[in-house]
Structure 1
Amino acid sequence: MVNEKRLIENFMELVRIDSISRKEGKLADFLIEKLEDLGLEVKVDQAGEKIKSNSGNIIARLKGSVKNATPIMFSAHMDTVVPGKNIKPICDGEKIVSEGKTILGADDKAAIAALLEVLHIIRGKNILHGDIEIVFSICEEIGLQGAKNLDISSLNAQMGFVLDAGGQVGKIITTAPSQNSLQIIIYGKSAHAGSNPEEGINAIQVAGFVLSRMKLGRIDEETTTNIGIISGGKATNIVPDKVKLEGEIRSRNEEKLERYTEQLKKIAEDTAQEFKAKAEVKINREYYCYNLSADDQVVKIAMKAAKDIGLQPELHPSGGGSDANIFNKKGFPSVDLAIGMEKVHTVDEYILVKNLKNTAEYVLSIINTVTSGEN
């Protein structure tokens, strides 16, 4: 039923449209036209104005042909990470890659392509279905900001399926972590590095001691920490008086998240004081964890739909967040589903054609499962 040629062509066209975070406008215009041509009612919200993107979230609705079916939502994000400009996809018939200088953008345009293919099939084959809503979000890659600014009460759906996990189709993310972002500013004292360095307090050196005392990387099976950005200093002949460290703490356990966050804060403050410097620590909650089980209806549907097309459903925890974190926090039950993308956020990113096709078939199967009421 899936038209593989059309699916690949649509995917290749999508990834050629630049849409790095906050610059999703061109892709949004393309998708609005596509969705309207397929008979959907399309709206764009005001999220973009709030987070300085040139587009808002797209909310599209396809009225059901079956009255009593549970209304559902599918979601994918329009933005990509960098390097994501002038992507040139290459398909050898089995695998799709970029030319090697950019990401591919399967994260998350493979999901968008699959959803467009499903909408083509529904229209062309008169597939029975309930009400379907499609959310194409903005700025997912920079803190799930599009989903955070989506008015969830504007949706009629009762549950959501987010298509944004790596790994083989059939993998179902039932639990994902909370995340705190961490910013540490070390204030030292400037001085001439050659004439009177004794009068200075080297903020970069203090930061080095701070980092050496932190346990970074994987803390345990559900907790990770990372310092990913360091900036500071003005010139080689000036003792630096300020350095900024930026990082994150993630955990699927709230108590551990708060405990390790406080540990990193205390290390920074105590170490700075030891060197007669000062540490200013800012902590921000980026998103909250969600925990679903095989007993939740949205998971039951995802599992049955996978089995019905010969896929082996597997329930997995994740170390990353997605729009599903935001939707669940807002009281809208949602699960994140794998779409077969691999090595995302790198120039080696790729997706197999069979996984692109499996994703479209999986979405169709979810719709059939919900429409039939067999869940």
Structure 2
Amino acid sequence: MDSFAPPLDVAAAEDHLMRFLSVEGVTGSEARIAAAVSDALRKAGVPASAIRFDTAHKRIPVPTETGNLIVDLPGTRPGPRLLFATHLDTVPLCAGAKPRREGDRIVSDGTTALGGDNRTGCAILVVLAETLLKHNLPHPPITLLFTVREESGLHGARELDPVDLGGAVMCINVDGQDPNDLIIGAVGQENWEVEIIGKASHAGVAPEKGISASLVGAIGLAEAQREGWFGKVVKADGKGTSNVGIFGGKDGKAAGDATNVVTDYAFIKGEARSPTSAFATAIAQGFEGAFRRGREAVKDDQGEMAEMTFTHTPSYPPFNLDETAPVVRRATRAMTMLGLTPNYVFSNGGLDANWLDKHGVPTVTIGAGQAEIHTIKEYVNLPEFATGCRLALLLATIEDE
């Protein structure tokens, strides 16, 4: 294994990781971590002129501090341009994280998540640039991409202008745990929401004069579950998953505000995922039909029903690379050279890779030690992190087939 391992200063790599873990940058508020990464790149020898930000944040529909960070490294040998990607943001549970080393792990203090997802990726891309420059390693032209708002909807990757990638022909995305795992595909997602307008009435004096929006929604969800559209979905024409995330009222409030009033408004929001866009849409439409039957089941004493508006929109597309795709072959070769056993994975969660593939850059995702993500038990496995660093370096420097 060591005979194929590119040079790596493990202590310096871990220092980068610890520093980035200490910088807050939850989704939508990435300015500080972007500045820290930019500073580290300049100290590593990357010219300031090679470091830039795009304007994706101006196209993202929710407030976002900064655009995607993009770095262009000229090649030292001919070859097609490679793209290495990761995301800057963490989930809100990482706010205030205090990383500390505990044996072969970096952990938090137990009150927050750590942010290894995805400060491991940030560190690896900085280590990649630093090591290439320090050792003058031969490599083709490389673009480094640090996206924003991955955790809240893959927005940075979605709003990316593909022209900013400089014609990259393939991408290695760093956003996983086990370096033996190679994510080559992922589900797509469709978001749906329903607004139900019922009719208020005194629940004790004249409940029959009201139309309960809560009951319409509850029956709709029960119908969706009965018909096999809720949770794990397996039908003759496809498979996927679904979930209800919000059942409430206006502006984040409860659906009702008193027990003696028939609820006149409810808002429900959920998602549908599938390996195919068509079946994700079919799941959403299954929920729509279920809510319409819920509407028909609840009437006042005059036979009136609630008003209902159901909408569904794609969130991100699915993708699935063949094992013979050039980027998969390159990753497989590099992993094998490091003594790893490639395990091809199709992910049930969305990644920036979904949108990068849609933008025309076939993308695989590699692991780098992040574990128990999005929980207060999150940690970084440092040996796996070091292996992820070596894998990225090898992917950048091996000769084309």
User: Which runs of 5 or more residues in structure 2 are unaligned?
Assistant: 1-6, 249-254, 299-304
The equivalent residue for 1:39 is 46
Alignment equivalent of 2:28, drawn from 17, 22, 26: 22
Matched, 1:267 2:296: no
The equivalent residue for 2:171 is 160
Secondary structure in 1 matching 2:94: coil
Asked whether the 8 Å contact 1:24–1:78 carries over to 2, the reply is: yes
Asked whether the 8 Å contact 1:222–1:319 carries over to 2, the reply is: no
Asked whether the 8 Å contact 2:216–2:297 carries over to 1, the reply is: no
1:127 Cα deviation (Å)? 1.2
Residue deviations 1:284-305 (CA, integer Å, cap 9, x gap): 1011111101110011001111
Alpha-carbon distance change, 47 to 255 in structure 1, aligned in 2, over 3 angstroms: closer
The equivalent residue for 1:358 is 387
Counterparts of 2:10 and 2:204 in 1: how far apart (Å)?
Answer: 67
Counterparts of 2:195 and 2:348 in 1: how far apart (Å)?
Answer: 27
The equivalent residue for 2:277 is 254
The equivalent residue for 1:64 is 75
Matched, 1:223 2:240: yes
Secondary structure in 2 matching 1:175: strand
Asked whether the 8 Å contact 1:214–1:267 carries over to 2, the reply is: yes
Asked whether the 8 Å contact 2:189–2:277 carries over to 1, the reply is: no
State the AA in 2 paired with 1:364.
L
Counterparts of 1:254 and 1:284 in 2: how far apart (Å)?
Answer: 11
1:254 Cα deviation (Å)? 3.2
Q: Please list, as runs of the form range in 1=range in 2, the aligned pairs for 1:64-83 lying within 5 A after superposition.
A: 64-66=75-77, 68-83=78-93
Counterparts of 2:82 and 2:94 in 1: how far apart (Å)?
Answer: 31
Q: What RMSD in Å do the two structures reach over aligned CA positions?
A: 1.6
The equivalent residue for 2:136 is 126
Counterparts of 2:9 and 2:103 in 1: how far apart (Å)?
Answer: 14
Asked whether the 8 Å contact 1:170–1:314 carries over to 2, the reply is: yes
Matched, 1:243 2:266: yes
Matched, 1:296 2:325: yes
Question: Between Structure 1 and Structure 2, how many residues are aligned?
Answer: 370
TM-score, scaled relative to structure 1? 0.95
Alignment equivalent of 1:185, drawn from 192, 195, 202: 195
Asked whether the 8 Å contact 2:368–2:389 carries over to 1, the reply is: no
Asked whether the 8 Å contact 1:185–1:244 carries over to 2, the reply is: yes
Alignment equivalent of 1:144, drawn from 131, 144, 154: 154
State the AA in 1 paired with 2:339.
G
The equivalent residue for 1:175 is 185
The equivalent residue for 2:111 is 101
State the AA in 1 paired with 2:232.
R
Asked whether the 8 Å contact 2:22–2:99 carries over to 1, the reply is: yes
Residue deviations 1:143-197 (CA, integer Å, cap 9, x gap): 11101111111222221111113x4112111121111001111221112233332
Asked whether the 8 Å contact 1:18–1:27 carries over to 2, the reply is: yes
Counterparts of 1:296 and 1:286 in 2: how far apart (Å)?
Answer: 25
Could you list the structure 1 runs, at least 4 aligned residues long, displaced by more than 3 angstroms after superposition: none
1:96 Cα deviation (Å)? 1.5
Counterparts of 1:291 and 1:323 in 2: how far apart (Å)?
Answer: 14
Matched, 1:53 2:64: yes
User: Which runs of 5 or more residues in structure 1 are unaligned?
Assistant: none
Asked whether the 8 Å contact 1:269–1:280 carries over to 2, the reply is: no
Asked whether the 8 Å contact 2:201–2:261 carries over to 1, the reply is: yes
1:22 Cα deviation (Å)? 1.1
Counterparts of 1:345 and 1:42 in 2: how far apart (Å)?
Answer: 30
State the AA in 1 paired with 2:243.
N
1:222 Cα deviation (Å)? 4.7
Asked whether the 8 Å contact 1:341–1:350 carries over to 2, the reply is: yes
Q: Please list, as runs of the form range in 1=range in 2, the aligned pairs for 1:199-214 lying within 5 A after superposition.
A: 199-214=209-224
Secondary structure in 2 matching 1:141: coil
Alpha-carbon distance change, 4 to 93 in structure 1, aligned in 2, over 3 angstroms: farther
Secondary structure in 2 matching 1:128: coil
State the AA in 2 paired with 1:7.
A
Asked whether the 8 Å contact 1:76–1:163 carries over to 2, the reply is: yes
Secondary structure in 2 matching 1:140: coil
Counterparts of 1:84 and 1:199 in 2: how far apart (Å)?
Answer: 48
Residue deviations 1:328-349 (CA, integer Å, cap 9, x gap): 1122211222223222111111
Deviates more, 1:257-266 or 1:190-199: 190-199
Counterparts of 2:287 and 2:117 in 1: how far apart (Å)?
Answer: 32
Deviates more, 1:273-282 or 1:171-180: 273-282
